[in-house]
Structure 1
C-alpha cells in the first residue's frame, strides 16, 4: 500500500513539474500555420518552440478530431494564449484530407531504418541462417544465380543483410551486444534440400556474398509517427557510434545510443549530445591545455564547462540500445560522446 501511495505521489510531483515547465515559444513563431506535405513534427515543433522536445506541452489535442495525436498536410494550426501559457491547436474542428499524417522526422530517412531490422541481438545473430554460396562457386551472387543457405527454412520471403558493426555496453557485469545490419538484397525460397535451402534473389542493392545473414521479411515493425518529447529526467548515456561505422556523423544520420527501453528510453525522446570541456593546468596567468604541459609541475587544474554539440531524436528503442537521428549539430559528432535528457 505504501509503495503504491509513494508511486502516486511521485507521479503527481512529476506531472506538476511538467505543468510548471516554462514553455519557450520561438520569437518568430507564427500565429497561424498550414501544414504542408513534407513537413515533420520536429520541423513544426522547432518552428514554434525554442526547445522542440516540449511539443507535448504546446500541442492541444482536439477531442472532436479522429486521431487527435496526428497532424496532416492541410491542417490549419493556431497559436493561442491562456493566462500566459501558449497552446497550439487546430483552427477548425474537422479534417477533409485523405493524406497520410506527417512523420516525426525525415520520412525518407525513417523509412529506411524503421522498415527493416537494423540492429540485432547477439543470440539472434548467432542463430540466423547464413549464405553458403552458389552452385558454380562465384564469390558474388547476382539475381540470375540461385544460391544456398545453411538452414532448412519455411518462410517464403527473406531479407539479406551484411553485418557491419558490433555495439557493446556493460550492465551488472554482463556484456550486452547488438550488431548493426545493412540490407543488401531480398530473396524468395525455391526449395529445401534436407538441412540446406535454395533461394533466388528478387531484388538487390549490393552484391550478395557468402556469410551474409538472412532474416524473414516481416515488413514494417515500427511506425514513423511519434511525438518529440522530453526523455526521463537525469538520464545519461553515450553516443557509441554511427550505425554503419562512420567516424563522424552529421545531420539526419543515424547513431546508436547505449540506453534503451529498460532505461526508460522510447521513440520520440530528445537527447542532448555534450562536448566535454577542455582541461587546463598551470598557475594563474600561465594556464595551458593539459596535453601540452607536465602535469606534475602544474598544481592548478581547470575544467571548462561542457557544451551542447547536438541533438538526437530517438527513432527506435531496443531493450538496452536505441537508434537516434541527429536533428541538430554545431559540429561533426564522433563517438564516444555523453548524451543526456534534453532540459528546458
Structure 2
C-alpha cells in the first residue's frame, strides 16, 4: 500500500507517513499550491486528490495534527515523491486573516442562524401576531406587536418567523408525484386561521405527499412588555415589515458547528433526493444551497457527503420498435448521470441543508443521492 505523508502543523514542518487507502492523487495534480483567501479545504484537497472528501481521513491519521483547520492564506503546499508521494505544508512567516474553512461559513450564516425546518403542526400552533400598534398593516422597529397564545414573562425575547417553504415527500412508484417535493409558500401567507397557503397545485390537489416539515425564516426579534391575551411585545429589529399572522418562537441560541469533516454516510434511504433550492429557480450549481429529503431521523449528520445523480431520460427505441414512424413504440430508460457532490451542513428531523461542493452540470430537483464514489 502506498504511504503518503502530509504535514499540517502550524509554526513548524513535520513529515509523518500515513496510510491513504482510496485517496489517490489526481492525474493533473500540481507540484505545489499557494493557499489563497477564499479557498476551502475541499477546494485545496480537490487539487491533489481524486476524492477530495477523503482529506479528513488523511489528516486525522496524523497524531501530530491536533486541528486539521490550520491552513492559512499564504501557506504553501508542496508535493514531493521521496519514498512515495509526500504532501508538505510550508507555513507563511506572517499569517494574516482566518484559517481556511472546510466550507464558506460566512456565506451560510443565514441558513445556520435564521432558517429552521419545523413540524407543520408546531408552526400552526405557535403564538402569532394578531395586530399591530395603531392598527397598522405592517410593523416596523420600535412599534408594539400584539401576540396571541404566548406563554412567558415580561423581558423575554422572541424570534418573529414567517413560513417560506413546505417540504413534502412523494410516492416513488407514482410518476405523477415525482415533482411534488419542495413547494414555495404564498408570499401573502400570514393569515390568523392558517399560517400559509401552498401555491403549487397539480391535478386539483394542494400539498399531496408526506409532510416533511415547514421551513421558516427569522425576520425579526421582539421583547415581551406585558403578558395577557393578547400580549404586548416591542419589536427590536427586523429584516422586513412584520404583519398579522407572523409566528412567534423562542430565540434559538444553539451554536452552529465551526468545523465540518466530510465523510460518506453509512447507508442511504431510497427516498434520498434533492427537494428544493435556496436561491435558484430551476437548477443549482457549485456553492449553492439545496434541500435534501433526509434528516437526523435517517441517520444524517453534518459533514455527510453524497454524490448527486440526475435521473436518466426515457426515450423511444426506434430500432426495437421496428417501425418507420420515429418516436413511437418501445421505450428505454437511459442510465442516471452523475452531476456533482453535496455536503450536509445542517440537519433537521426529516430534511437537511446541503452545499453543492462541485458539479459537472446543474443540479435539479429530484436528483438522487448516492455514496460519494
TM-score (norm 1): 0.76
Q: Distance in 2 between matches of 1:244 and 1:33?
A: 32
Greater mean alpha carbon deviation, residues 242-251 or residues 130-139: 242-251
Q: Distance in 1 between matches of 2:164 and 2:259?
A: 27
SS in 2 for 1:42: helix
Q: Distance in 1 between matches of 2:237 and 2:81?
A: 53
Q: Distance in 1 between matches of 2:31 and 2:363?
A: 35
Alignment RMSD, CA only? 3.4
The match for 1:124 is: 122
State which of 308, 313, 319 in structure 2 corresponds to 1:273.
308
The yes-or-no answer on 1:71 pairing with 2:101 is: no
**CA shift for structure 1 position 46:** 1.8
**CA shift for structure 1 position 90:** 4.6
The match for 1:11 is: none
The match for 1:221 is: 255
TM-score (norm 2): 0.71
Segments of structure 2 that go 5 or more residues without pairing to the other structure are 1-18, 172-208
More strand by share: 1
State which of 175, 178, 190 in structure 1 corresponds to 2:213.
178
**CA shift for structure 1 position 334:** 2.7
How many equivalent residue pairs? Answer: 312
Is contact 2:346–2:352 with CA below 8 Å preserved after alignment?
A: yes
The match for 1:340 is: 370
SS in 2 for 1:142: coil
Is contact 1:114–1:220 with CA below 8 Å preserved after alignment?
A: no
Is contact 2:56–2:68 with CA below 8 Å preserved after alignment?
A: no
The match for 1:241 is: 276
Is contact 2:310–2:339 with CA below 8 Å preserved after alignment?
A: yes
Q: Distance in 1 between matches of 2:30 and 2:57?
A: 17
Q: How does 1:310-325 map to 2 (within 5 A)?
A: 310-325=340-355
The match for 1:261 is: 296
SS in 1 for 2:357: strand
The match for 1:41 is: 41
The yes-or-no answer on 1:138 pairing with 2:136 is: yes
Is contact 1:180–1:243 with CA below 8 Å preserved after alignment?
A: no
More helix by share: 1
Q: Distance in 2 between matches of 1:219 and 1:88?
A: 40
SS in 2 for 1:70: coil
SS in 1 for 2:56: helix
The match for 1:147 is: 145
**CA shift for structure 1 position 238:** 0.9
CA shift in 2, pair 1:117/1:87, >3 Å: farther
Once the two structures are superposed, what CA deviation does each residue of 1:181-224 show, in whole Å capped at 9, x if it has no partner?
Answer: 2222222x141232332222222221111111222223353214
Q: How does 1:274-293 map to 2 (within 5 A)?
A: 274-284=309-319, 293=327
The match for 1:201 is: 235
Once the two structures are superposed, what CA deviation does each residue of 1:100-143 show, in whole Å capped at 9, x if it has no partner?
Answer: 54322222222221123421223432343212221322221111
Is contact 2:69–2:99 with CA below 8 Å preserved after alignment?
A: yes
The match for 2:51 is: 51
CA shift in 2, pair 1:43/1:164, >3 Å: same
SS in 2 for 1:136: helix
Segments of structure 1 that go 5 or more residues without pairing to the other structure are 1-18
